[in-house]
Homo-oligomer: A and B are copies of this chain.
Amino acid sequence: MTDETLNTLRQHIENLVESGEVEELQQVLAGLHPSDIADLFPRLGRLEQNFIWDLLPEEVTPDVLVELDEAFQEKVLDTLTEGEIGRLIDDMESDDAADVVGALDEEKAQKVLNTLDLEARREMRALLAYEEDTAGGIMALEVAAVRETDNVDQAIHRLREFHETEGVEDIYTVYVVDNDGVLKGAVSLRQLILAKPEVPVRDLMEPNVISVDTSTDQEEVATLVRKYDLLSIPVVDDHHRLMGRITVDDVVDVMAEEAEEDLSIIAGTGEENPGETSALRTSRERLPWLLTGLLGGLVSAVVLQHFQESLLQVIALAFFVPVITAMGGNTGIQSSSIVVRGLATGEIGLGDLLPRIWKELRVALLNGLALGLVLATIVALWLQQPHLGILIGLILLLNILIATVLGATVPIILKRLDFDPALSMGPFVTTANDIIGLLIYLGLTATFLSLQ
């Protein structure tokens, strides 16, 4: 639904609310996908929101709640009682339910959990115990599993039962477990339907199933699903027991989330949401990075002050400060971004530090020579001082070499230390690059001037 359609719809709904045409409003809502209702929600006033929420068919409210932006989800949850929230999450898949409970403050979450039956409460607690960004944190517990000792008839019976009790519509793959719940293989619905009823499941199943551990990072889950074109991936515990499954639609969300996270790390915008309307909250998200940048810039200022003698002696040295800092930043970000991408797709491994540096060094040498030559020529002609031109050109080459090596190593080191490698492209490292570049530039030119 485009932006325009949403706005037209918003106006239509506002008119209907104002004139109190409840039936017409119900009809409009019935024709909308829960995702669209969730998109519409932030555009409406408080009055319309409450009005609409009460009119939503009971079976649609959980879907709308799940699709709402985090900020608006919180607002809606605030207006609901613990009992109401309990009934809502009872109709959700376990992973969505855990997300909702996880968004509540501890006390309210506890009260909501207490409204659930014992089994559901136990499940929720187990899910909430996993780290948010791991396979355990994003998996759903509703997984269609049959025993390896079942025959096809028994297996289909088991699936029908599962479908009825859990109410799950989409059975992507049927997993096969032994008596201890250990994952043994997988079988497709099609195979089960086509096979003779008395054939043991064990004979049909594919025994090599790609699975992940509950502690596997969600980004790695996404890489596996992408690489092997999977519709769903089973999650197992330390004893290889089947704990849950992650479906491709959740992986799609993970990928979008990771891409957004990378972008926000690079730009230093924190967890800011594009839909956020409060300038104060936005300002607070961005300010820490800007302060880092300001302090870094002030360190640069100190470096420049330290070399003020040289600057006064040859004011032309100041002209090329932006060239030197910008080129270090540009080349550093290029090699960082390639390594960050390679690490994300697995094309670059954690052991590739030395070969990667070697590769980047050769690239930096080629680019540094080309760019250094251009700069040296321009500076020599401009200032009519060939020596200074050659010197500044050589410094550019050196600066590019160092920035490139730093750019290639920092992400790998960050990843080894379990930080997000995208950090290496953020304001912090860019600022560090500026300072190193300035030190090289002014240090070497000052030495050169003192030798003259």
Which residues of A are in contact with B by a Cβ distance under 8 Å?
A: 2-4, 31, 33, 35, 39, 69, 193, 208, 222, 225-231, 248-249, 251-253, 255-256, 258-260, 262-264, 266-269, 272-275, 277, 279-280, 282-283, 286-287, 289-291, 293-294, 296-298, 300-302, 304-305, 308, 311-312, 315-316, 318-327, 330-331, 333-334, 336-342, 345-352, 359, 362-363, 365-367, 370-371, 374-375, 378, 425, 427, 430-431, 434, 438
Q: B residues within 8 A CB of A230? A: 249
Find out whether the CB atom of A301 lies under 8 angstroms from the CB atom of B283.
no
Q: B residues within 8 A CB of A273? A: 347
Find out whether the CB atom of A267 lies under 8 angstroms from the CB atom of B334.
yes
Give the nearest-CB partner of A69 in chain B: B347
Give the nearest-CB partner of A318 in chain B: B318
The 4 closest A-B pairs by CB, nearest first: A3-B349, A274-B342, A297-B323, A267-B337
Bound CA–CA A4/B304 (angstroms): 47
Find out whether the CB atom of A334 lies under 8 angstroms from the CB atom of B289.
yes
Interface of chain A, main secondary structure:
helix
Q: B residues within 8 A CB of A231? A: 231, 248-249
Contact of A279 among B253, B347, B363 (CB under 8 A): B363
Find out whether the CB atom of B318 lies under 8 angstroms from the CB atom of A300.
no
Q: B residues within 8 A CB of A268? A: 330, 333-334
Give the nearest-CB partner of A438 in chain B: B322
Find out whether the CB atom of A347 lies under 8 angstroms from the CB atom of B274.
yes
Find out whether the CB atom of A342 lies under 8 angstroms from the CB atom of B3.
no
